[in-house]
Amino acid sequence: MVLKLPKSIGLSQHSAHHYRGKVSLLNHQQNKESQDVSLKKQFDVEEVRKDFPILKRKVHGSPLVYLDSGASAQKPKSVIDTVSRYYSEQHANIHRGVHHLSQEATQAYEEAREVIRGYINAKHSHEVLFTKGTTDGINLVASSFGRKFINEGDEVIVSTLEHHSNIVPWQMICEEKGASLKVIPINQAGELNMEEFKSLLNDRTRLVSVTHVSNSLGTINPVEEMIELSHAKNVPVLLDGAQAVPHKHVDMQALDVDFYVFSGHKLFGPTGVGVLYGKEDLLNQMPPYQGGGDMIEKVTFEKTTYNSLPHKFEAGTPNIVGGIGLGAAVVYFDQFDEKQILDHEQDILAYATDQLSQIEGVKFIGTATEKASVVSFLLEGSHPFDVGTLLDQQGIAVRTGHHCTQPLMDFYGIPGTVRASFAIYNNRADVDALVAGVKRAANMLL
Ligand SMILES: *Cc1c(COP(=O)(O)O)cnc(C)c1O
């Protein structure tokens, strides 16, 4: 699929007009040229590395080699500065005050929502809901959509690849409603069995909820086809985009997806903030998730009427600085040409796969044809935890364990893997360090 680049890079015309040229909180290098694809900034990994201050530090006396972006990505200076500037100069509560600071903070927060809307090409900014993260977004849909649309005897489809946060919320609502969870199987490479998926779709299916990209294996699922197949049966689709958005643009209108969730912290933004995109029509039919301030229109003890979208789903004081910081992260990531980022990450993936495969005892878990820049492996005869610990002593940060995907580890009959996940700031030298580290670990452990 060709992903359409969003028109709004930084501030869109719409929001610029809407906010009548007030001072922007987003610390972006916005210019008219960046709206043209051909004039995007040239991607140069060594330049990118300079934007991430943490990459200069040492761990256990060695330069940090950060290969755990799948768990949480590092932050560019523009995000750090935006967060710091917000607290130093602009903080107040939003959506309520008549005073100047409150209006400025509200403007910045809503401007961030608009930046994200443009980035994911949602039709309306009120379809972009701020959440605490991917987990929170899925729980919101499971709870609210589930309460309204899932009943006894109904079915929800997930896959073997799912993160626990796209399993447990569905188990909870299914148990409550007497519905059941159906699981799309995978092959040894870690790819979905599409024939099985087709046969699982039936008139009891209420929702298909699958990951766009697997966090443990890197598998990129054929989501366009899955959405088409589901819609042919009138079944809405939720995509867990936590591992997709840090690597490429996603286009809500081109995908025609019904719900899409992701976390700010994996997209170079702050923790504690994320996004749930939902189609207006569905969100309007769904009951509120939580009750409280901001989500109401009028409250009496007899009856409360709810606020319109997006506020209906955003009860209480939100993570204001998180939303604004995420807006800055999107502006940062969006300045580069997508194809150059993908080419770079695929080069790192191919290089890492090739180099690691030359070490005796390394066994890859997850060898899908379509993969994001993640390598999961085992050093046969050793425990992933021991490999991770030895790598850490050399300043190399990888994730070890089940990666919140225990059913997937059960499928492979293993307790976990060593996972190196690469982001825009990783270079071939990082791979060389990893390979040297794994060789050293192999010498010590085997
Ligand atoms: C990280 C991750 C989650 C959970 O995200 P949180 O930020 O912890 O809420 C869910 N799904 C996938 C695929 C992930 O990688």
Whole-number pLDDT of residue 38:
56
In a domain, 26, yes or no: no
Domain identity same for 342 and 410: yes
Cβ 240 under 6 angstroms from ligand 1:
yes
Q: How far apart are the first and last CA of the chain?
A: 44
Whole-number pLDDT of residue 39:
74
Mutate to test the pocket of ligand 1, among 131, 132, 135, 220 (most ligand atoms within 8 A of CB): 135
Domain identity same for 416 and 274: no
Residue 66 has pLDDT above 70, yes or no: yes
Domain identity same for 293 and 368: no
- The gap from C-alpha 404 to its chain's centroid, in whole angstroms, comes to 15
Cα–Cα distance, 204 to 25 (Å, whole number): 47
Nearest by Cα to 79 from 257, 207, 270, 259: 270
Task: Provide mean pLDDT across the span 310-337.
Answer: 97
Q: Give the residue with greater pLDDT, 7 vs 206.
A: 206
Q: What is the mean pLDDT of the chain?
A: 92
Nearest by Cα to 134 from 223, 239, 6: 239
Domain identity same for 428 and 298: no
Per-residue model confidence as pLDDT tens digits over 190-199: 999 999 999 9
The CA-based angle 20-26-27, given to 5 degrees, is 125
Residue 360 has pLDDT above 80, yes or no: yes
- Choice among 296, 404, 409, 445 that is catalytic: 404
Give the structural domain span for 346. Answer: 338-445
Domain identity same for 227 and 368: no
Cα–Cα distance, 357 to 335 (Å, whole number): 34
Cβ 11 under 6 angstroms from ligand 1:
no
Q: How far is the CA of 266 from the centre of ligand 1 (A)?
A: 8
Per-residue model confidence as pLDDT tens digits over 217-268: 999 999 999 999 999 999 999 999 999 999 999 999 999 999 999 999 999 9
Domain boundary residue, one of 304, 334, 364: 334
Domain identity same for 150 and 274: yes
**Locate tokens 């009028």: which residue?**
298
Residue 21 has pLDDT above 60, yes or no: no
Whole-number pLDDT of residue 31:
43
Domain identity same for 318 and 393: no
Per-residue model confidence as pLDDT tens digits over 260-288: 999 999 999 999 999 999 999 999 999 99
Whole-number pLDDT of residue 232:
98
Per-residue model confidence as pLDDT tens digits over 390-408: 999 999 999 999 999 999 9
State the DSSP string of 188-207.
Answer: TTS-B-HHHHHHH--TTEEE
Domain identity same for 404 and 342: yes
In single-letter form, the type of residue at position 174 comes to C
**What is the percent of the chain where pLDDT is above 90?**
89
**What is the percent of the chain where pLDDT is above 70?**
91
In a domain, 425, yes or no: yes
Domain identity same for 304 and 357: no
Whole-number pLDDT of residue 67:
98
Domain identity same for 417 and 328: no
Domain boundary residue, one of 289, 317, 334: 334
Domain identity same for 342 and 307: no
Domain identity same for 265 and 248: yes
**174 tagged catalytic:** no
Whole-number pLDDT of residue 245:
98
Q: How far is the CA of 276 from the centre of ligand 1 (A)?
A: 13
Cβ 405 under 6 angstroms from ligand 1:
no
Residues pairing with 117 in the sheet = none
Residue 20 has pLDDT above 60, yes or no: no
Per-residue model confidence as pLDDT tens digits over 418-446: 999 999 999 999 999 999 999 999 999 98
